[in-house]
Amino acid sequence: MARAKQPPQIHQLTLPQFEAMFPDEDACKTYLKARRWPDGVHCPRCGNPKVYDLKTRKWHWQCAQCAPTGYRFSIIAGTIFENTNKPLRDWFRVIHLMLTSKKGMSARQIWRYMGFGSLETAWYMCHRVRVALMEDIGRLGGIVEVDETFVGGLAKNRHWDKRGGGGGTGGIGSGKTPIVGAVSRKGNVVARVVANVNSATLTAFVREAVSHKVSLLCTDQSSGYNRLDGEYPHGVIDHARGQYVIGAIHTRPSKASGRSSNAASSAHSTK
């Protein structure tokens, strides 16, 4: 049997090649500009190609179309490099290390290799790079919070045959409509009206809405999420024990799903 044709091998930069290609910050910005805007710089907000350089600030432009006073943007505006204090060359080094390492590199390894002042800096950079490299981009990534809520008026304000139990506070048997929501921090919200909040329903929702490449999935202590432990990096907050925030773990999507309840049957809305 003939051997299946192998895809062409992708050339990986060696360290000397990387140093020669990106010797300084200007070289990195020139490379980014050429890849980002091969047909010339245009506004990342409105797409206006008629922008002009700011003479007082290199690698910055201004668009007169976006705002009365003009919108100023830099080479890194709207990218994973935005709002960081690290030089672009450090970002390129981190990306090079992550892509050329056969088994990948952890944030701790990056921290030690790059000599950053804190592990949090390395974790933040690695997190942003991994989100940018996600293949299943249609699903939520990064740090994702999932929670459920019940929508409906107070029991005393509803018809007697629709009041249900629970004193109007929600929950199973309350007669209110169950909604489950997921939110990617600084990203999109996905909300669904569901028939119930049992394990099969919650697990199916998470698998549909959330990428398996998330860096953290945050839920409460509900047993409906237990099946996710082996599939996702799962962090749990136990409200019954008075826990609401443990480091990066907390859940707030029920508020988001409540805001989106009027359109919850159709799923996606951007924060």
Domain locations in the chain as residue ranges: 15-132, 143-270
What does the pLDDT look like over 212-262, one tens digit per residue? 777 788 888 788 888 888 888 888 876 566 655 555 555 555 444 444 433
- The pLDDT score that the predictor gives to residue 226 is 87
Q: Percentage of the chain surpassing pLDDT 90?
A: 25
- The pLDDT score that the predictor gives to residue 3 is 64
Identity of the highest mean pLDDT range in 41-50, 108-117, 176-185 = 108-117
Backbone angles phi, psi at 36, to 5 degrees: -80, -40
Among 72, 23, 17, 18, which Cα is nearest to 44's? Answer: 72
Residue 115 gets the label, from left (phi > 0), alpha (psi -120 to 50) or beta, of left
- The pLDDT score that the predictor gives to residue 239 is 58
For residue 24, pLDDT over 90 is answered with: yes
Tokens 């091969």 locate to 38
Residue 145's H or E segment, with its range, is strand 143-151
Q: Which two tokens stand for residue 219?
A: 């839920």
For residue 18, pLDDT over 80 is answered with: yes
**Beta strands, E only, 154-214:** 177-184, 188-193
* Sheet with 234-237, side-by-side order of all strands: 234-237, 216-220, 143-151, 177-184, 188-193, 267-270
**What is the spatial distance between Cα 181 and Cα 252, in angstroms, rounded to a whole number?**
9
Among 12, 29, 35, 211, which Cα is nearest to 130's? Answer: 211
In contact, 213 and 134? CB cutoff 8 Å: yes
**What is the spatial distance between Cα 19 and Cα 90, in angstroms, rounded to a whole number?**
12
- Strands 188-193 and 177-184 come out as antiparallel
Higher pLDDT, 154 or 49: 49
Higher pLDDT, 173 or 268: 173
**What is the spatial distance between Cα 59 and Cα 53, in angstroms, rounded to a whole number?**
8
- The pLDDT score that the predictor gives to residue 77 is 87
**What is the spatial distance between Cα 29 and Cα 76, in angstroms, rounded to a whole number?**
9
Which band of pLDDT confidence, cut at 50, 70 and 90, is reported for residue 192? confident
- The pLDDT score that the predictor gives to residue 37 is 92
Higher pLDDT, 198 or 2: 198
